[in-house]
Structure 1
């Protein structure tokens, strides 16, 4: 089926949302259990970690770790926001730079100023949006970012969204004193789909939609490490405790350009596979053989592929053995941990 579809359903008792583009699963969100990204806590400083510039914190039900904090003493309360999923046995990663994010607006208490997404290029529209932002944030010392989704939105809806986020931010930032507590729960899968998949799409929310629209079949395919590519090339995406290994194979193609073609196809497919599988951390690509002079083409393709991906990914570069390494934020639980 052509076009975009957002399909809302449940998977294993959890909220789940699937984004289908031209009949192909492009993104998948499954509700989290425990401290999920975006949740805001009032935490209590526990002990600093020398040499790392960070500190362990106490939060309800466990511990958290925040980097680059100064002037915080043990026992002092502070507001933090969960940034990703913790590996088993490790503290929940959090940040002291809190964002209040919705469909159209992001309120930034620690970063004053009004900013618009660079994807909004029409000068008249930018002027209109800045006028809405100035009116909605009048008298506030907090910052605001208007997202690219504002380009197709109703001005009244944008103003309401800004006001709601500013009110929430004001209430939370003034609620510092007290014992560790969850102040704002992270968004569920359906709310995240509404918030982040803002391009025009058909929304389907009837019970059993995952089955009737092929989402369950696509998820079942993700249980396998094998991913077929064009021209019978393939990759294997396998997560170990230390890293995610991506092995690129040319298949039956024995031409001189087989390695480059397989590596380019792998670069274009990798962001989607990492999104769908919920994988992050250190990623090592064992590429198909290709001349060093062709590395630039591969790097440009990989950089362009990740530019459209919302999860922060650092392209670290080449190893002495010719592998390519990436570092990706752990924003989602691995699919293998949440599948029923």
Structure 2
């Protein structure tokens, strides 16, 4: 299996697409100014204690207070509290955690008011990003993730990923980390650490410990709502988690980000630094590699997947529902039971892909086509488990019920990605009537004149649908060339399949949309 990562950077948005064997399997679209990323550590302030929920609401700077449950405080919360108090009163340089004497663990059946009070400062980490009307979900069991290891301050345990099957290798890694880790630091050994040498793991452990020390040494002059430890860039974070030998190339449309990612790949896998490439084409990155077309096909209520079969995906407040339909296959299949099995097996692969692609979380109920034989229902269950193995997000799958329903739970840590593929027409705005198409050229010229003469723009990029772009370039002199000569300015045409037929956008030299 070959994997490719595509990163499209614009002033307002960052889009990251992961393709496996040229098929889109993951997509992230986020605003460039996004805050409160999973993994960020903040100095928060307790705003409200809720004894009935056994939880507290903490101010970390988000518009709504974040939620911290007692069970998310972590057993070593008293030691964390002691460390924070000492660091806040210490001189510049902070407190060395490995020299700190640990306090007893908190009672796992205790109450929130035993350990927290209104106005108290507390170190917290974002466990779930803000979703819908809810603020972030917090934890005080802090962790700093690396490529091979996850550092757990205030813990003393060493855990090894269950995905490492060899008991000999698990024991080797556990003994190795126990011998080199500092006191009061726990470590989780990730799956990719299998077979790694002691020097490599020791170097990463020291880097993570140094990052903790440098970040917490600044606590003495920080006020609540301050970011203490920021998660690394989104692109680098994805690379840290999914980088594998199957990666062929990483294309990035921004020079600075390309440099940052190349440096990061050089750190975690020096011999693979050359796979990071800067994309310099005139056509948008996602259009050049056919990703935009896949997005239009794969998002929306109806998703086709094999020989006329399709999925219907519905979202409710409580759960997601997926219905499997055989479509026109039912008319041609000789054996209904075998046809149902074949469609359900193909549907399982597509459903696993859709869950990753849309980052769907919570409860998912799948209504497969009814099958009479129990061995066929078991086959579909096994296929779903196999297809979900590539999903890094925690999930649980139950066997099909006698009604053909499968229940899946999938951890939700950030908002689901929803892309509306049926767009309101930008020309008629949903009325069904448009201005005469013959006047479009005149309308375009007026917009360009406004940008050049009214707003004094020197270089412009005109984004249009490829069909409209072909029309503007046809003939000699073409319409495009006439405009250049008439207004004496730099104009570049950028065809984009993401736009509708008569839609257009005008960008300035900084790739920002010109307000017309």
TM-score tier by shorter-chain length is: 0.7 to 0.9
Quote how far apart the aligned CAs of 1:318 are.
6.7
Q: Distance in 2 between matches of 1:306 and 1:68?
A: 32
Shift in alpha-carbon separation, 1:169–1:262, aligned structure 2, 3 A = farther
1:228 aligns with 2:272: no
Q: How does 1:6-17 map to 2 (within 5 A)?
A: 6-10=5-9, 13-17=12-16
Range with bigger deviation, 319-328 or 68-77: 319-328
* 1:76-124: CA deviation from partner (whole Å, max 9, x where unpaired): 2222222223332212122222221121210122442223334445677
Quote how far apart the aligned CAs of 1:330 are.
2.0
Q: Distance in 2 between matches of 1:224 and 1:316?
A: 26
1:47 aligns with 2:48: yes
Could you say which structure has the larger radius of gyration? 2
1:287 aligns with 2:368: yes
1:105 aligns with 2:181: no
2:66 to 61, 64, 67: 64
- Aligned position for 1:326: 408
The answer to whether the Cα contact below 8 Å between 1:15 and 1:190 also exists between their aligned partners in 2 is no
Quote how far apart the aligned CAs of 1:199 are.
0.8
1:252 aligns with 2:328: yes
Considering fraction of residues, name the structure with more strand: 1
Q: Distance in 2 between matches of 1:154 and 1:81?
A: 31
Quote how far apart the aligned CAs of 1:165 are.
1.5
1:163 aligns with 2:201: no
The answer to whether the Cα contact below 8 Å between 1:108 and 1:144 also exists between their aligned partners in 2 is yes
Quote how far apart the aligned CAs of 1:65 are.
0.8
Shift in alpha-carbon separation, 1:277–1:121, aligned structure 2, 3 A = closer
Q: Distance in 1 between matches of 2:379 and 2:396?
A: 18
Q: Distance in 2 between matches of 1:52 and 1:324?
A: 31
- Aligned position for 1:306: 388
TM-score with structure 1 setting the length = 0.84
Q: Distance in 2 between matches of 1:172 and 1:88?
A: 31
- Tell me the SS of whatever aligns to 1:336: coil
TM-score with structure 2 setting the length = 0.58
1:203 to 249, 258, 262: 249
The answer to whether the Cα contact below 8 Å between 1:222 and 1:277 also exists between their aligned partners in 2 is no
The answer to whether the Cα contact below 8 Å between 1:279 and 1:332 also exists between their aligned partners in 2 is no
- Aligned position for 2:131: 87
Answer 1 or 2: higher relative contact order, Cα 8 Å, separation at least 6: 1
Quote how far apart the aligned CAs of 1:215 are.
2.2
Quote how far apart the aligned CAs of 1:64 are.
0.6
Q: Distance in 2 between matches of 1:223 and 1:79?
A: 39
Shift in alpha-carbon separation, 1:36–1:249, aligned structure 2, 3 A = same
Quote how far apart the aligned CAs of 1:173 are.
6.1
Q: Distance in 1 between matches of 2:214 and 2:134?
A: 30
- Aligned position for 2:120: 76
* 1:135-157: CA deviation from partner (whole Å, max 9, x where unpaired): 642x3321112222224767654
**Which residues of structure 1 form unaligned runs of 5+?**
none
**Which residues of structure 2 form unaligned runs of 5+?**
72-111, 252-277, 331-335, 422-497, 499-516
Shift in alpha-carbon separation, 1:108–1:191, aligned structure 2, 3 A = same
The answer to whether the Cα contact below 8 Å between 2:26 and 2:358 also exists between their aligned partners in 1 is no
Q: Distance in 2 between matches of 1:24 and 1:12?
A: 27
- Tell me the SS of whatever aligns to 1:300: helix
Range with bigger deviation, 86-95 or 323-332: 323-332
Considering fraction of residues, name the structure with more helix: 2
- Tell me the SS of whatever aligns to 1:90: coil
Quote how far apart the aligned CAs of 1:185 are.
2.4
- Tell me the SS of whatever aligns to 2:328: coil
Q: Distance in 1 between matches of 2:228 and 2:166?
A: 38
Shift in alpha-carbon separation, 1:337–1:220, aligned structure 2, 3 A = closer
1:36 aligns with 2:37: yes
The answer to whether the Cα contact below 8 Å between 1:317 and 1:326 also exists between their aligned partners in 2 is no
> How many matched pairs?
338
Q: Distance in 2 between matches of 1:337 and 1:96?
A: 34
Range with bigger deviation, 300-309 or 72-81: 300-309
- Aligned position for 2:190: 147
The answer to whether the Cα contact below 8 Å between 1:85 and 1:330 also exists between their aligned partners in 2 is no
* 1:227-265: CA deviation from partner (whole Å, max 9, x where unpaired): 223343221223344432211112233322333333332
Q: Distance in 2 between matches of 1:169 and 1:123?
A: 31
Shift in alpha-carbon separation, 1:118–1:297, aligned structure 2, 3 A = same
Taking only aligned residues, the RMSD between alpha carbons, in angstroms, comes to 3.3
The answer to whether the Cα contact below 8 Å between 2:378 and 2:399 also exists between their aligned partners in 1 is no
The answer to whether the Cα contact below 8 Å between 2:337 and 2:372 also exists between their aligned partners in 1 is no
The answer to whether the Cα contact below 8 Å between 1:234 and 1:262 also exists between their aligned partners in 2 is no
- Aligned position for 1:184: 229
